[in-house]
Amino acid sequence: MVVAPLLRFPSGVRCMSSNLYKTPSNITCKTTCSSLKGLRSNYRQLQRFSTTSACHDEALDRTRNIGIIAHIDAGKTTTTERMLFYSGFTRRIGDVDEGSTVTDFLPAERARGITIQSAAITFHWPPGEVTGVTGPQAGAQNEPTPRSAYPHTINLIDTPGHADFTFEVMRSLRILDGAVCILDGVAGVEAQTEKVWNQASTYRIPRVIYVNKLDRDGAAFGRTVREVSTRLCVYPAVCQIPWFDGGNGPFIGVADSIRLQGLRWKEGEDGRTVKVADLKQLEAEEPALAAELRRARIALIELLSEHDEDIVEKFFECEEDHLAVSSADIIESLRRCVLDQTSRIVPLFAGASFRNMGVQPLLDSIVNLLPSPPEAPDPEVSIGGVKGGLRDLLSGDLIVEQGEKASAPSKGKHPKKKNLALQTSSKDAIGKLQSCALAFKVVNDAKRGVLVYVRVYSGSLDRNSLLFNTNLQLSERAPRLLKMYANDAVEVDSIPAGHIGVVVGLKQTRTGDTLVSYAGNKATPPEPLTSLQLRPIAVPPPVFFTSVEPHSLSEEKRMKESLALLLREDPSLHVNIDEESGQTLLSGMGELHLEIARDRLINDLKAKATMGRIEIGYRESALGTSSPITKIFDKEIAGRKGKAGCTAVAEPLDEDLESPEVDQDTLLVETNDGNQIIVRAPGLQVDRSSRSEEETSPFLAPGMDLVAFRTALQNGAVAALARGPQFTFPMHDTRVTLTIDPAADLFGNETTTSALSSAARQATAAALQDVQFGAGTVMMEPVMNVIISVDEASLGSVVHDISSSRGGHIISLDEEVPLSGTDVSSTSASALEEEALPPIDHSRVYAPPDPFETPSVGVEIPVAATRPRTIIAKVPLKEMVGYLKHLRSLTAGRGTFVMSVDRFEKMSGQRQKAVLAELRGGF
């Protein structure tokens, strides 16, 4: 009798065997024996856990921070709901289509049936209390107990699948230690799957794959396995194959190649009852399936043997009998391969979550195969201009020279000695670090206020500790800490390293900020801790915008507060105020992104405002150089006299060309939103004897330091660049050089920061006008990097449509390595790609045959016609609006695509004219 690990329980967890076993040949077990105790008891367990620090290390081994990633509609939320149900977290299974799921709890998500925000939720698998007592570890004995025999804490992040929320996905990926990638067994590997897969590769996240929806007509497990190898460029380790009743009947379960058994679920039940049949029983009942299962087992051992020496040894110990290798040894081998990602082995499982089939073995695989926080790759940090791993930093392997970024290369007699001193003092500072956490999500909760979700990476984040925000350079106290269960919460005293929790009461922290606590009671941490940042990501440029108007003047303040909150939640949204019209413009990544922002603003945050039409965010660019334009601002602002002068020159910015030389008169060179701002002040006589951030000058008003001076000028230029002189679109690829002549432009006490900003804004706007009257300006449009997946039969028509009707450029067909999905990441291409691993040998990939692979009626389609093809093209965004519908019609519903902003491109005169005519006449 073979009993699956999912059916084994540690002592103390009682299996209600009388209900579970039916006949010796038909073993049935309820997997949630100790489940359904209800939420309250789970809460109590976690509360105890979080206040008992002695258990933390052991408990950390029993923790998994896992994400679910996939293409839209692959079944992430449906699968998550089953996980919550089987773990005893919920008493009934929520339904996406009825809008009753736990994780999609925003009204907009429930109304649309899609995931918008990543939800973080905690549960235990297998059900029961996660004790600090270390159980028998795998590998300790000859036949070790799998990890899935003991309860683990799973922090699960359900991520959105829609391309408009790519940034939300990236944000979530940064804090995961492992992921389950769900594929739709009918659609296979889709373009969005490839994108999010590559993003996960960027962070080296170990993954398992779950092929869902195998109950649907047209499901093709074998084809999907092959696509995993060809399109995701990994070796699928097929751990389960689908069990179709009688070979080509309905999907009824899975055959497990690790444990050599069949798992069968009864149609129409809630899935808690699983019938297990061993290989002998399968041979009697389903001989074809049993034969395939043997082949799957052989293929699995062969694959592992190529990458793991230990399994080769076990294989020889078993006298080269593939079927004799123990399941525990296979699980350990798979685990080693998953954690060491150079093998590119990804375990693959099967199921139909909607029919309640396949989810418990998937949960077992999360516990057995994915890493605990200490086993996950070292999180990337940047500190004092140096990049590396956090663990390396804490252990002293990553060396930071404090203050080197700000100071010039060391001069003097003993440069080496100086460096050594700097290193020692930065080491001392790093020793003071008490905890380091990443705020990965900010949510405005109607009941609890603003919740900041954090992942703690080192130390322990304690209630009431002072947190320094290294992005905003300010400190905030953490008055309350919570552990979240979707939209329910439990108060805790601390959040230890490796865990996910919520800080309530932070007023400034935004999504993506790094928070550190440190020893000592200074207001700021010692250098270089002030610059410590975890996995920074760059926000992509927004390409759609809309206007937001308050219903009345009295509503304006409230609307602005709501917008500020929206921006804290989602930094991929941007707000600009058009100085001339006074209009507030909200811009974002896509139409759906802005629609959801509108819903949040008006329905959830109750702002009384109206949003205009969603439009493409064009840009304007300078074609020539202006003459130097000087403006003197001289006016009373809020009862205080303000006077300042500034000279501006505007010119085209070519990032490929070298920046102008930076001399000691240059106070700032900064490129932001596609424009460059340079501030120069010859003769300012900067007093550099004080600390760098407090540098000052005799020309500046008392109390104004150099930072305030150049920020004021920069803000003025940014405001003017938000509105182009000819088409009123924001400027792009433009450089503005601001020059201050201290003798002529600065007027002592009267030169306030707002006067400086106003002078810089007026001078920049006038310089842009001067360009328009001279060489002129041109419109720019967002051009997208588009990846389209089609089959061979539709390739020709799709390529023709893109290149002739949509003005796109085909870049390539069937790139061997898919484009990296790191468009929203500052991280360079994945380290795995850098290691230049040998290509995957697709001919050696095992995939079982598909009963429904070819249509049973009509003309047989040649296999080549259904071969997946990938088109990579650059297409103007305007031509991609509403493209999905068109692509579906060209490809009989099979085609999918993803896109991301490539860059802004200058438009031809003819195209500019046509777009302007359309904009004036409306869409």
Ligand X SMILES: Nc1nc2c(ncn2[C@@H]2O[C@H](COP(=O)(O)OP(=O)(O)OP(=O)(O)O)[C@@H](O)[C@H]2O)c(=O)[nH]1
76 is in an annotated binding site: yes
212 is in an annotated binding site: yes
Residue 78 Cβ, how far from ligand X at the closest point, in Å? 3
CA distance 640 to 118: 48
- Tokens encoding 141: 């004995």
Find out whether 50 and 483 touch, Cβ atoms under 8 Å.
yes
CA distance 451 to 449: 6
CA distance 900 to 270: 40
**Residue with smaller CB distance to ligand X, 100 or 581:** 100
**Residue with smaller CB distance to ligand X, 86 or 633:** 86
Residue 164 Cβ, how far from ligand X at the closest point, in Å? 11
CA distance 400 to 386: 7
CA distance 102 to 96: 9
- Tokens encoding 612: 């205009």
Residue 740 Cβ, how far from ligand X at the closest point, in Å? 52
Residue closest to ligand X when measured from CB atoms: 161
**Residue with smaller CB distance to ligand X, 161 or 459:** 161
**Residue with smaller CB distance to ligand X, 75 or 652:** 75
608 is in an annotated binding site: no
Instruction: Tell me how far CA of residue 568 lies from CA of 96, 163, 207, 436, 451, in angstroms.
Output: 28, 21, 30, 20, 11
Residue 366 Cβ, how far from ligand X at the closest point, in Å? 17
Residue 76 Cβ, how far from ligand X at the closest point, in Å? 4
Residue 546 Cβ, how far from ligand X at the closest point, in Å? 23
**Residue with smaller CB distance to ligand X, 217 or 834:** 217
**Residue with smaller CB distance to ligand X, 70 or 704:** 70
683 is in an annotated binding site: no
DSSP state string for 760-808: HHHHHHHHHHHHHHTT-EEEEEEEEEEEEEEEHHHHHHHHHIIIIIS--
Instruction: Specify the length of the chain in residues.
Output: 923
823 is in an annotated binding site: no
**Residue with smaller CB distance to ligand X, 354 or 897:** 354
CA distance 304 to 486: 38
878 is in an annotated binding site: no
Residue 95 Cβ, how far from ligand X at the closest point, in Å? 7
12 is in an annotated binding site: no
Residue 165 Cβ, how far from ligand X at the closest point, in Å? 9
State the DSSP H helix or E strand holding residue 293, giving kind and residue range, or none if neither: helix 287-305
Residue 184 Cβ, how far from ligand X at the closest point, in Å? 8
Residue 100 Cβ, how far from ligand X at the closest point, in Å? 12
**Footprint of ligand X (CB under 6 A):** 70, 72-78, 96-97, 113-115, 160-161, 212-213, 215-216, 352-355
The owner of tokens 């079927």 is: 323
**Residue with smaller CB distance to ligand X, 197 or 699:** 197
DSSP-derived secondary structure letter, 731: B
DSSP state string for 561-585: HHHHHHHHH-TT-EEEE-TTT--EE
Residue 367 Cβ, how far from ligand X at the closest point, in Å? 22
Q: Using alpha carbons, select from 9, 80, 91, 82 the residue that is nearest to residue 42.
A: 91
73 is in an annotated binding site: yes
Find out whether 380 and 389 touch, Cβ atoms under 8 Å.
yes
Find residue 21's DSSP bridge partners: 27
Q: Which amino acid is at 910?
A: Q
884 is in an annotated binding site: no
**Residue with smaller CB distance to ligand X, 68 or 648:** 68
902 is in an annotated binding site: no
**Residue with smaller CB distance to ligand X, 63 or 101:** 101
368 is in an annotated binding site: no
160 is in an annotated binding site: yes
Instruction: Tell me how far CA of residue 27 lies from CA of 7, 24, 92, 127, 891, in angstroms.
Output: 10, 6, 25, 20, 46
77 is in an annotated binding site: yes
Q: SS3 for 184?
A: strand
590 is in an annotated binding site: no
Cis, peptide link before residue 742, omega less than 30° from 0 = no
**Residue with smaller CB distance to ligand X, 187 or 370:** 187
Find out whether 740 and 646 touch, Cβ atoms under 8 Å.
yes
The β-bridge relationship of strands 251-256 and 261-265 is antiparallel
**Residue with smaller CB distance to ligand X, 215 or 651:** 215
Q: SS3 for 644?
A: strand
551 is in an annotated binding site: no
Residue 75 Cβ, how far from ligand X at the closest point, in Å? 3
Find out whether 78 and 69 touch, Cβ atoms under 8 Å.
no
Sheet (strand 666-672) strand order: 629-637, 640-652, 734-739, 675-680, 666-672
Residue numbers in the known binding site for GTP are: 70-77, 158-162, 212-215
Residue numbers in the known binding site are: 70-77, 158-162, 212-215
